[in-house]
Structure formats: structure tokens, C-alpha cells
């Protein structure tokens, strides 16, 4: 990446941090001095980060689960939501869910999602995702 002289100057002065940190004024900051406490991020920035995070999650799901590519759109979205929320590594520990997905036994897969600590933690989200997996439709 080629920097403009101003970008190089600001990076030299502010530093470049890819994880949140406390600046010298005690404000939570990220990047090149972006004050999150006072300025936050824009909706466009949030959507850009979301798009990137979705792409990373989808790539990890494709790498980890051969059956993922064959899912219909709704079930794929449900699995993406699971992987996005808990992380794909954690999702790999849901052995009975995975076995049911491999067998295309979506009723059992839905039951396995609901019969988890995850479901207790996220409540209605788990119910919605289990429904999407069970039926292949979104019922809001």
C-alpha cells in the first residue's frame, strides 16, 4: 500500500494500532488515533467491517465443513450466524450438530442447537437459527 505524505506523517506521529488501545488522554482508540470514545465509527465503516467479518467467517466455514457449500441459502445464513457469533473453532465442538448437518437431518441439528449452553446464552437468537435450520425458511 502506498501512503500519501500526510498519511505517513500521521502514522509516524499517532502510530498504527489494529486493536483498541488507550491513548495518552485515556480514550479508547484504534487505527491511526481514531478516538472511539468520542467519535466512534460511521455506519459505512461498521458495514465495511461486517462485510469483511462475514467473508472471513464464510471462508473458515468452507475450509472446515465440506457440507457447508451444499446448504440452501437460509441454512447457510444460519450456520454463518452461528460461526460469526461463537467463532468457527467453537462451532467445531458441536459434534452432534455437525453429524446431523452432514446427514442432512435438520430436525436433529436444530434440536442440538437448542440443547446447548449457547442457546441459553443467546435465547431468541438460537430459537430463530434452529427454526431456519429445521425448515430452511426464515420465520420472523
Please give the share of the chain, as a percent, with pLDDT higher than 90.
Answer: 96
Give per-residue pLDDT as tens, 68-82: 999 999 999 999 999
Say what the pLDDT of residue 139 is.
80
What is residue 6's predicted lDDT score, i.e. its pLDDT? 96
For residue 5, what are the CA distances in angstroms to 10, 13, 17?
A: 9, 12, 19
Per-domain residue ranges of the chain: 7-39, 65-135
What's the pLDDT band for 111 if we cut at 50, 70, 90?
A: very high
pLDDT of residue 83: 98
Amino acid at each position: 500500500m502506498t501512503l500519501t505524505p500526510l498519511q505517513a506523517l500521521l502514522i509516524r506521529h499517532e502510530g498504527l494500532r489494529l486493536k483498541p488501545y488507550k491513548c495518552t488522554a485515556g480514550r479508547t482508540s484504534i487505527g491511526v488515533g481514531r478516538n472511539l470514545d468520542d467519535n466512534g465509527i460511521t455506519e459505512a465503516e461498521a458495514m465495511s467491517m461486517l462485510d469483511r467479518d462475514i467473508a472471513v467467517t464464510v471462508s473458515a466455514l468452507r475450509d472446515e465443513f465440506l457440507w457447508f457449500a451444499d446448504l440452501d441459502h437460509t441454512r447457510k445464513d444460519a450456520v454463518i450466524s452461528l460461526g460469526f457469533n461463537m467463532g468457527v473453532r467453537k462451532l467445531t465442538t458441536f459434534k452432534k450438530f455437525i453429524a446431523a448437518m452432514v446427514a442432512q437431518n435438520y430436525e436433529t441439528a436444530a434440536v442440538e442447537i437448542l440443547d446447548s449452553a449457547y442457546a441459553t446464552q443467546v435465547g431468541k437468537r438460537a430459537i430463530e437459527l434452529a427454526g431456519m435450520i429445521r425448515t430452511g425458511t426464515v420465520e420472523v
